[in-house]
A and B are shown apart, each in its own frame.
Chain A
């Protein structure tokens, strides 16, 4: 589990501000994922990446931007935060055809 980390672990921001959540993995996994977790909705996929410079939308991509210039990093940016983006965000990684391993999560509160 220590192979995938997220920062910050907790973040409070205001509506309209830009926020970037970081995800770093040391396993050299090809795939990386961003999920948000809200009560009643389980885990919903925001974006995922199959390799460096390859990203694709998931179920709920609106309001988010991702990049993957290096295999080990997959930052998630909220360009203009809204209250509806208050959530717990999990990053995950996997090898090709492997199971997904989750980071510890980032709790984001948008005021």
Chain B
């Protein structure tokens, strides 16, 4: 099956700086890559996603890039704010209706 690795496991940045979280996947058939944000004690919530026919997608301060050749994708958060502090999970899926394979998460702390 698919194997998704996520790095780093923890990340601390100063408010206003950028944060980058990287994930790699093993199955070249994977074609959908969502990112979830989970605040402490809350449910995971989708923040952005990308499909394999797109190399980059942006939504305000958040962007995701995908390199199919290298089988890795990254989450970029610019101008970080304290409310960005959370655990972020990447995932890969061959079919968005079927199984998601999640990374182990990155705990992001934004220091005011």
Contact = CB atoms under 8 A, between A and B. Distances in A.
A1 B42 CA distance: 12
Interface residues on B, range: 20 to 34
Interface in A21-63: 30-31, 33, 40-45, 48, 50, 58-59
A99 B34 contact: yes
Given A99-B34, A99-B49, A43 B96 contact: no
Given A1-B43, A90-B44, A99-B46, A42 B105 contact: yes
Given A41-B104, A42-B89, A102 B97 contact: no
Contact of B97 (A41, A90, A96): A96
Contacts of B6: 42
Contact of A43 (B1, B46, B102): B102
Interface string B91-109: 0000111111011110000
Contacts of A90: 43-44
Contact of A95 (B43, B97, B99): B97
A94 B43 contact: no
A44 B89 CA distance: 12
A42 B104 contact: yes
Contacts of A48: 98-99
Interface of A: 1, 30-31, 33, 40-45, 48, 50, 58-59, 90, 94-105
